Chain A
Amino acid sequence: MSTKLYLGTRKGLIEAERTTTGWSITRCSFIGVQVPMLLPHAAEGMVYAAVEHGHFGTKFHASQDGGATWEERACPAYPPKLDNVPDVINPASQQAIPWDLKKVWALEAGAAPGELWCGTLPGGLFHSLDGGASWHLVESLWNDPGRAKWMGGGAEWPGIHTILVDPRNPHRLLIAISCGGVWESVDNGASWKNIGSGIRAEYLPPEMAFDPGIQDPHRIAWSTAQPDTIWMQHHNGIFHSTDGGQQWREITDAKPSTFGFAVVAHPLDPQTAWFVPGIKDEFRVACDGALCVMRTRDGGQTFEALRSGLPQVHAYHLVYRHCLDVSGDGRTLAFGSTTGSVWISENGGDTWERLSADLPPVYCVRFG
């Protein structure tokens, strides 16, 4: 069971702890500043945080004492763009994609000591081998011709929001991009392949709908016990793969909705995953004003809506893609909403308790 929870919010990094009397909020760092992404790295006793100042850009901080004190480290930065390098044009807006960090949107640990991967808007993947003391842009991906298809999703620019490091082979990576689909590397980022047959984008013309390079996976998650089983919350549905992301099956009959942003997989049981559904596209609120978490325990054959402890009347919460997490044993879950509520379940989602309803908009939820 996890006993520490970190929340990246619109107004700072907020921590909660579990004691014998239950969960409570214990600390806020970086008050007033956005924290779009963070990474508790328990194996190395570190916590990393991307801190996004409205005026002064994103900075990268590290804590060696669980969040009590922080030191600023290097921030991923795009290299100087030479004049003879042509712009890549965002096909939707016909604007040149900038060579400038717009947001840190994914942060994961690699297998080597101090190894970190960082996904960003406008689509650059960065790699560090020294705990964020230095970073380099993964140019094999940045220079891939397939990047010319990438578009902004909810954001103005394309962004890498998910990085999965294969526990069986740390040189195998999967990343997911809104909107650029799923990409696989089997050589620790030296080369990349766009994968994903069967993923469907209903918001594009029919002849483009199954192009894997323009998909909008909102989030992908795998069970660490069986990484070939992958769940995807896509812009227009839920998809499931059992072959490591090569082929996907669309799931259309999950109730109350197959729209949402967040998904987590049970770390030990590849048949179990959780989603937070909402009303699709321009609405983006809880279905019927009643908040629930959807759970499947049979590999996506059936879903149940978990509502105990969640508001069922006039609830308009939206849960972003990084705002649902599950502990290593698959029992404790937490999620946070754009309207500043956080709920925790200690029984796999059967019942929930609200940690707070008074927080800033929540951008990232991760157990320590």
Chain B
Amino acid sequence: MPSVHFTANLARQTTAPVCEVDGTTVSEALHAVFSQHPTLRGYVLDDQGAVRQHVVVFVDGTAIADRRSQADAVKPESEIFVMQSLSGG
């Protein structure tokens, strides 16, 4: 199962534990996390469901290309990291 990790700065604001979830895309994996932790969604995605301007999502070391819909593929052994950009602080 893909694992989803969140920056410690996000965990300081709300519940953001490491999660192992089902999913073949970043979107599926993230929404599986959000179903367990609904408040987390608004910290990562904007009102229209795009990745927030100053948040960046990596899959196995590569930043995702589809920030609007998060359709990037993930493998069962993938590690997804939700980080903050250096901009926006």
Binding site for B on A (CB under 8 A): 53-57, 59, 72, 75, 77-81, 98-101
What 9 pairs between A and B have smallest CB-CB spacing?
A55-B84, A56-B43, A78-B47, A55-B54, A100-B47, A54-B88, A54-B89, A77-B47, A100-B46
Identify A55's interface contact among B9, B14, B42, CB under 8 A: B9
Interface size range on B against A: 10 to 19
User: When chains A and B are docked, how far (Å) is the Cα of A72 from the Cα of B85?
Assistant: 24
Identify A80's interface contact among B42, B48, B54, B55, CB under 8 A: B48
Q: Which residues of B contact A72 (CB under 8 A)?
A: 14, 39
**10 other contacts beyond A55-B55, A72-B39, with CB at 8 A cut-off?**
A54-B88, A57-B42, A59-B13, A75-B42, A77-B42, A78-B47, A78-B48, A79-B47, A80-B49, A100-B47
Shortest beta-carbon distance from B4 to chain A in Å: 16
B5 in contact (CB, < 8 A): no
Shortest beta-carbon distance from B39 to chain A in Å: 6
Contact (Cβ within 8 A) B43 A57 = yes
Identify A56's interface contact among B47, B49, B52, CB under 8 A: B52
How many residue-residue contacts, CB under 8 A, span A and B?
48
- Name the prevailing secondary structure of the A interface residues: loop
Contact (Cβ within 8 A) A55 B48 = no
User: When chains A and B are docked, how far (Å) is the Cα of A59 from the Cα of B12?
Assistant: 14
Identify B47's interface contact among A55, A59, A99, CB under 8 A: A99
Shortest beta-carbon distance from B2 to chain A in Å: 22
Counting chain A CB atoms within 10 Å of each CB, the highest count among B13, B44, B52 belongs to: B13
In the complex where A72-B14, A72-B39, A77-B42 touch, is A56 in contact with B48 (Cβ < 8 A)?
no
User: When chains A and B are docked, how far (Å) is the Cα of A99 from the Cα of B48?
Assistant: 7
A sample of 25 cross-chain residue pairs with beta-carbon separation below 8 angstroms, ordered by A number, consists of A53-B13, A54-B54, A54-B88, A54-B89, A55-B52, A55-B88, A56-B10, A56-B13, A56-B43, A56-B44, A56-B55, A57-B43, A57-B52, A59-B42, A77-B42, A77-B47, A78-B47, A78-B48, A79-B47, A81-B48, A98-B48, A99-B47, A99-B48, A100-B46, A101-B47
Shortest beta-carbon distance from A156 to chain B in Å: 12
Shortest beta-carbon distance from A33 to chain B in Å: 8
- Nearest A-chain residue to B56, judged by Cβ: A55
User: When chains A and B are docked, how far (Å) is the Cα of A31 from the Cα of B5?
Assistant: 25
Chain B 1-28 per-residue mask, 1 if CB under 8 angstroms from chain A, else 0: 0000000011001100000000000000
Shortest beta-carbon distance from B10 to chain A in Å: 6
Q: Which residues of A contact B54 (CB under 8 A)?
A: 54-55
Contact (Cβ within 8 A) B85 A55 = yes
User: When chains A and B are docked, how far (Å) is the Cα of A54 from the Cα of B86?
Assistant: 10
Q: Which residues of A contact B88 (CB under 8 A)?
A: 54-55
Chain B 35-69 per-residue mask, 1 if CB under 8 angstroms from chain A, else 0: 00001001110111100101100000000000000
Shortest beta-carbon distance from A304 to chain B in Å: 43
- Nearest B-chain residue to A78, judged by Cβ: B47
User: When chains A and B are docked, how far (Å) is the Cα of A55 from the Cα of B39?
Assistant: 15
User: When chains A and B are docked, how far (Å) is the Cα of A56 from the Cα of B53?
Assistant: 9
User: When chains A and B are docked, how far (Å) is the Cα of A56 from the Cα of B47?
Assistant: 12
Shortest beta-carbon distance from B46 to chain A in Å: 5
Shortest beta-carbon distance from B13 to chain A in Å: 6
Shortest beta-carbon distance from A101 to chain B in Å: 6
Q: Which residues of A contact B14 (CB under 8 A)?
A: 72
User: When chains A and B are docked, how far (Å) is the Cα of A54 from the Cα of B85?
Assistant: 10
Shortest beta-carbon distance from B25 to chain A in Å: 19
User: When chains A and B are docked, how far (Å) is the Cα of A53 from the Cα of B14?
Assistant: 12
Counting chain B CB atoms within 10 Å of each CB, the highest count among A54, A57, A59, A79 belongs to: A57
User: When chains A and B are docked, how far (Å) is the Cα of A99 from the Cα of B50?
Assistant: 11
Shortest beta-carbon distance from A88 to chain B in Å: 15
Q: Which residues of A contact B48 (CB under 8 A)?
A: 78, 80-81, 98-100
Shortest beta-carbon distance from B51 to chain A in Å: 11
Shortest beta-carbon distance from B31 to chain A in Å: 14
Q: Which residues of B contact A53 (CB under 8 A)?
A: 13, 43
Q: Which residues of B contact A55 (CB under 8 A)?
A: 9-10, 52, 54-55, 84-85, 88-89
Contact (Cβ within 8 A) B9 A57 = no
